[in-house]
Structure 1
């Protein structure tokens, strides 16, 4: 809270009417946002009084616009990495040309992508292969948090190792693509994300047993019905004691069930 107050004082001294303050402290952010509806801790009362006094005394309607937002620590990692790299390796401000890589900055930017719903950047693995993944629905990344292959916006090392080995190609050629569609349907209601999840948990036996029963998937394809040796509708009706349905006027055979 003292840091936010100092930022407000700095903005006032420098006549910065448009101010955007970011904090990674969730509790302080919530206290500021809901201070009229919650009990402020006693050790924070003085800080809030000073903060509100600065804001009230120097607010100009139509000119002053001050915003405070909460940003998780990891979303500031790219800026921190660049600053630390500069302190350790440079003596002056520079603009880095081309695709130069600074430490693990690409991984941090990828993690940032998952929070801002921007396109995911490919991850370079130790084996020389590049893997990325796409999703069919915007914001779907959050649904992957509980899956074993997903960690902070990117594939885990184990998931990448499994994809590198080609072990999942037996289930679908989808796993051989450099851009992996996690929402691709593999069979019997299982998607690529399910296969990769069980592979990382070493429970592929469950997946294999589900996919091995392909009769269900085959039955869902109307073009394969004739190959399944099913009884005709008339035969079923006869067995049940009903009169068979009359033949169609165009002479077409009865349907099968």
Structure 2
């Protein structure tokens, strides 16, 4: 029987973990993000952590996420744990460590995993189970890992939920409608349908507060641009984030490039040495403009005329240069 997510047995806490690795690294060279969540047998969200783990392999990132969840579980005295991952290699290594020669890069993460279990084990009380599941059953953890990449967040714990995580938690419990798929229209050719039947009434679906918010301002119109803008901080699944919209409409970015003065902003315009307008918006959203300012064509240190308190008159300049203002003079032969 297929499930989107299956609750753990009564008394158990379930840990779901997932790692996302992007092909092109972010501006800070990070490209590995992990999401981990703990829920009980009623599907209640008990704890979560997500974000970037630089310089780690997928295996190391997954084990780091699991270990962080185990530390929290130990602090809460949760002795019955069920761990789920989609990574078959991690699953096999945990189960058969006694028969596998671990490489140097594996020793640290697996030894910490074993240590927290062995040093807090209670006979007849402590039990730890691990399972390898298909990706469709790990949707919440996958969304969390992708959220960490999209927002450029360092790995850390958080309370409550982030982004659209509520939707995935509800979906895992079967308590929300599926997201609508775009309808594929029939290709009727170039001819006209004369006196055809009226179109059928549109079906409206009612979605609760867990559905995605619809925002009209898109990052790109061409689908070809989607891959280019995919991992920028201002892009939330093809839509500008609220912070990005505020930055562009406030006029604060125009001091870095005149591109942002107009009503239409072309994010693909070159504004510096290897810097595009989209890079300005990306760094403005995450607060790291100082990284690219030296590479911009328009220096941030030049004060615009509107900010100059007082300018000297022509007569004052001539007087300082030793000329008598208003009196003509000729040079000698």
**What TM-score do you get using the length of structure 2 for normalisation?**
0.27
Question: Which structure has more helix as a fraction of its residues?
Answer: 1
**What TM-score do you get using the length of structure 1 for normalisation?**
0.33
